[in-house]
Chains A and B, each alone.
Chain A
Amino acid sequence: MGMTMTQKILAAHAGLDEVKPGQLIMADLDLVLGNDVTTPVAINEFNKAGFDSIFSQDKITMVMDHFTPNKDIKAAAQCKQCRDFAREYGVKNYFDVGDMGIEHALLPEKGLVAPGDCVIGADSHTCTYGALGAFSTGVGSTDMCAGMAKGKDWFRVPSAIKFNITGKLPKWSAAKDVILHIIGMIGVDGALYKSMEFSGEGLKNLTMEDRLCMANMAIEAGAKNGIFAVDEVTLDYIKDKVTKEYKIFEADPDAEYDAVYDIDLSTIKPTVAFPHLPENARTFDQIDEVKIDQVVIGSCTNGRIEDIRAAAEILKGRHIAQDVRCIIIPATQKVYMTAMKEGLLEIFINAGCAVSTPTCGPCLGGHMGILAKGERAVATTNRNFVGRMGHPESEVYLASPYVAAASAVLGRIAQPTELE
């Protein structure tokens, strides 16, 4: 029986010729990631277990992005604990305020992930790097600790769902709409314990930023990982970023899938996920007037330069509605700098938006844009759970940067065509 792309990467990292779905394996890791919320727990476990060395100074990365710039004294203490550990053990890829970015936007930009890699991260959206053709999955802090100490971790080999991508996205439809459509179709546990493998002739019409956005939200369908076939788009993206050696894996032609879905990009419409689950996806023919209080454009899902440009395309020469606050967060320093050079920050400030240094802040209800009781936000983030952005009785609506920006202008959930 043939293997899926994920199974082949896992087999190679476990030193096995073949693996089967359900098999439990120990695999070698190419990269271990943590942030300022999950790394302190890993360090506590590291010390408690009595480890005194890390497996590699190059293959561990820590990104201070969740409650940074430090939101309070406790958050400052957590970052300090990570910083002290990184210094003591010589962790080279430690990123702090000033050169950090939101981890899942930063690592691909820094060339830290290559096709064929086996990556764990103590952050559920670590599945983002599947866009590069790597096996990459979110784990907990104890896994991160094991990874830091030993450079390996256990995995249950997943079966897979295949998404055969064809066509090209229409104007104003975005990768976010594709992944919300898919989650709406299969549900928040539709890919539980499985891989979501994306391939097909339509892949060439999805940029790397589109793929990063889609792979990012694989976890919102319960998936272990999302992964894209490696092609010219991938190689073009990594050529001036990745300096380490890498290997490209392809799914076997006779690989077995639990299900195969055809996704024609040309049929994808602007989509909004209503509270309180990402599977509550609706297109605009199913949306009545929903007034909003806040818009957030950013996050590991949609804070990359193409997302910021999309928001600017809508907001240029316009002003946001009177009773709306719009917070725009470029995901990395590089994105921020590019947006500045292209004049996008000026467009946002003229439109009445706040522009922030990179942070996960509002996405997880940490800081920098918390909602009061009864408030509603349209966000380009990835989760709309109860209390995700603030008060348990606030609401988050997930959408693309186009829809979020149009909604900011009109003060209600809106699509870009309403501004034409």
Chain B
Amino acid sequence: MKAHGIAHKYGDNVDTDVIIPARYLNTSDMQELAKHCMEDIDIEFASRVKQGDIMVAKANFGCGSSREHAPASIKASGIGCVIAKSFARIFYRNAINIGLPIIECDEAAERIEAGDEVEIDFDTGVITNVTKGETYQGQSFPEFLINIINSNGLLNSLK
């Protein structure tokens, strides 16, 4: 499985309140929520993002609230993978549980800039920065989690 798209770049401690502000959480319609994804720190994200694009951030991505609306609105906005130095733990498990690909990689989080064309090979964990002609080795998932991901999420894996 691969993801391939243009990078949208953010910094440290991107919290779930800016990924999807609570004022919109009176609905669980993820397509509706995607219209407001990232708007408090990047007002143009929803209009700029294209299907398959890549989100890249630094440490502790997705900290704060447990709202699954955060990874779900990122997924619904078309993002094919989130790369970060580290993920807040609830965001990490939510992403796995709903099938939003995520990958931890310090070097990619540092080197990739907004607008770079990026490709991720999930089988090998290799991240290619097509624009800069560089590759970075991301951390692959343990087998237990790969089984959840391959079952297309937690609920299917429990059946």
On A, residues with C-beta under 8 Å from B are: 24, 37-38, 40-41, 44-45, 48-49, 66-67, 71-72, 74-75, 78, 121-124, 126, 138-143, 145-146, 149-150, 154, 188-189, 192-193, 219, 222, 224, 277, 364-366, 370, 383, 385-388, 392
Contacts and interface: CB of A to CB of B under 8 A. Distances in A.
Q: How large is the interface on B (under 10, 10 to 19, 20 to 34, 35 or more residues)?
A: 35 or more
A192 B148 contact: no
Contacts, number: 136
A379 B63 CA distance: 20
Nearest to A391: B40
B68 A38 contact: yes
B27 A49 contact: no
Contacts of B40: 386-387, 392
B90 A383 contact: no
A138 B40 CA distance: 24
A122 B154 CA distance: 15
A38 B66 contact: yes
A124 B65 contact: yes
Contacts of A24: 142, 144-145
Interface string B55-96: 000011001111111011000000000000010111001100
Given A140-B68, A142-B94, 8 more contacts: A37-B67, A44-B28, A78-B26, A122-B68, A188-B63, A219-B64, A277-B13, A366-B25
A291 B71 CA distance: 36
B155 A45 contact: yes
A385 to B, nearest CB: 4
A140 B17 contact: no
A149 B158 contact: yes
Contacts of A386: 15, 17-18, 40-41
10 contacts: A38-B67, A122-B66, A140-B97, A140-B98, A143-B94, A146-B155, A149-B155, A365-B22, A387-B18, A388-B22
